[in-house]
Amino acid sequence: MRLALMASGTGTNVEVLLSEKQAGNLPSVDWVLLGCDRPNAPTIQKAESLSLKTWVHSPGEFANKIQYEKSLHLVLSEHEIDGIVLAGYMRLIGPTLLEHWQGRIINLHPSLLPSFPGQHSINDALLYRVKLTGCTVHFVDEGIDTGPIIAQESVPVFSNDTTETLAKRIHRAEHSLLPKTVRRWSEGGFYLKDKIVHFVDEVGETI
């Protein structure tokens, strides 16, 4: 499965995914390129250090979001991409891209959705004093972290947690959940149909 990564920040999950491929743990994945919307994001250097092609598409270089996403679609199509993994990509995917890629984009989010969508999910978990939070991999739709859920992993929230300590715990869970989910996707283990995630067993039967 020819996959593209899209990220905006530090790239820790990008680094994990590329390292898992090098270790032989993602045999059906072909990482083709990393797309980034921020020219100076650390994720670019991490991807290049692991021999992945990168390209930077800054939204400020385009007249509007429609033109930006048309350009993204063109690059992805030229590279014959089968699916996209958003690993810390901090922009909402719009209808221009979804028109062509619905059901072929998955996202990682640091909460147990549908709780705490958006950019402040870790702080929100502390604010609401929940006992459990975690991370979610889901298909992308038009909303903010509202797409059909594929997989989740929970972590405890302790009374003395800070944003930093809880974030570290969630990131460890992300580094476990995302590679497993990507592997299952690349091996045909699930798909999206009529806004429902369908899982497939070892003999190819939908379960």
Q: For this structure, is 138 an active site residue?
A: no
Residue type, 30: D
- Phi/psi at 105 (5° precision): -125, 125
Q: What single DSSP character describes residue 88?
A: S
Q: Which of 57, 73, 100, 109 is catalytic?
A: 109
Distances (CA, A) of 85 to 34, 104, 107, 165: 10, 9, 6, 26
Tokens for 85? Answer: 């993994």
Residue 175 · residue 195 · CB < 8 Å: no
Q: Which residues pair with 5 in a beta bridge?
A: 34, 85
Helix (H, G, I), strand (E, B) or coil at 129: coil
CA distance 162 to 185: 34
3-state helix, strand, coil in the chain (%, to 5): 35, 25, 40
As annotated, the active-site residues are 109
